[in-house]
Amino acid sequence: MKDKKRLIILIIVIVLTLIVCGIIVFDYIKDDNKKPNTAEVQITNNIKDYGYVLRDTDTEYYKELFDKLKVALDKDEVDEELYATLLSQLFVTDFYTLSNKLSNSDIGGLDFVLSTVKDNFAAKAKDTMYKSVKTNLYGDREQELPTVTKVSVDNIITNNYSYGDNKDTKAYSVKCSVTYDKELGYPTTVKLTLVHTDNKLEVAKVN
């Protein structure tokens, strides 16, 4: 009788062990088959001479602005104020749209930031604006994050701006109003300073 009970217990233990092992193997295979979103981010368009690129993860509003900028920069004589306006709208849209970012190190708007301050800007953004952004490498994030739906340029003027050993006598000061799909407490007014690097405008400062 005791041997029979032991046999039954042994069978139960073996069955439970097999079930647990099966679950572990299934989860491993399932996770192993997941492809991170980083592999799916593709450049779908670009403005070659300026280094601006359009990615498949960008919002529809951003893509519309990008197409307008491409047309503006493709002209023989570029309307620089229009260029400054569109660049400001693109930067604000990308930087403050967090919903399409893959992690807190996926900083938006870096294509438009002055090269000499880009690293410091990205590091500061990661510790502030992007600090709470959770990883979404596998598309399973449930965090509510903002999407910029409109950026209006309220004021744009030129003035003197000094940075490092450089001075731009025709730098642009741009004031923007930002609209989101949902009110989550993110900035609705942004001020930018744009400076010249040869024929290219770059964001030197964000207020």
Is 49 among the domain residues?
A: yes
Is 12 among the domain residues?
A: no
Residue-wise pLDDT tens digits, 172-188: 999 999 999 999 999 99
Is 200 among the domain residues?
A: yes
Rounded to 5°, angle at Cα 145 from 141 and 146: 150
Residue 35: the pLDDT is 54
Residue 9: the pLDDT is 62
- DSSP code of residue 174: E
Residue 15: the pLDDT is 60
Question: Would you place residue 36 in the very low, low, confident or very high pLDDT band (cuts 50, 70, 90)?
Answer: low
Is 111 among the domain residues?
A: yes
Residue 160: the pLDDT is 97
Residue 138: the pLDDT is 87
Mean pLDDT to the nearest integer, 133-138 = 92
> What residue numbers bound the domain in which 167 lies?
43-134+143-206
> Shortest CA distance to 47 belongs to which of 35, 65, 59, 60?
65
Q: Compute the mean pLDDT over every residue in the chain, rounded to the nearest whole number.
A: 87
Residue 193: the pLDDT is 98
pLDDT higher than 80, residue 42: no
Residue 48: the pLDDT is 74
The domain total for the chain is: 1
pLDDT higher than 70, residue 145: yes
CA dist 148 and 57 (Å) reads 14
Residue 32: the pLDDT is 47
Is 14 among the domain residues?
A: no
pLDDT higher than 70, residue 54: yes
Question: Would you place residue 28 in the very low, low, confident or very high pLDDT band (cuts 50, 70, 90)?
Answer: very low
Residue 79: the pLDDT is 97
List C-alpha distances in Å: 167 to 80, 160, 162: 18, 7, 4
Place of tokens 């930031």: 113
> Shortest CA distance to 55 belongs to which of 36, 83, 66?
66
Is 18 among the domain residues?
A: no
Residue-wise pLDDT tens digits, 55-65: 999 999 999 99
Is 9 among the domain residues?
A: no
Residue 46: the pLDDT is 78
Is 151 among the domain residues?
A: yes
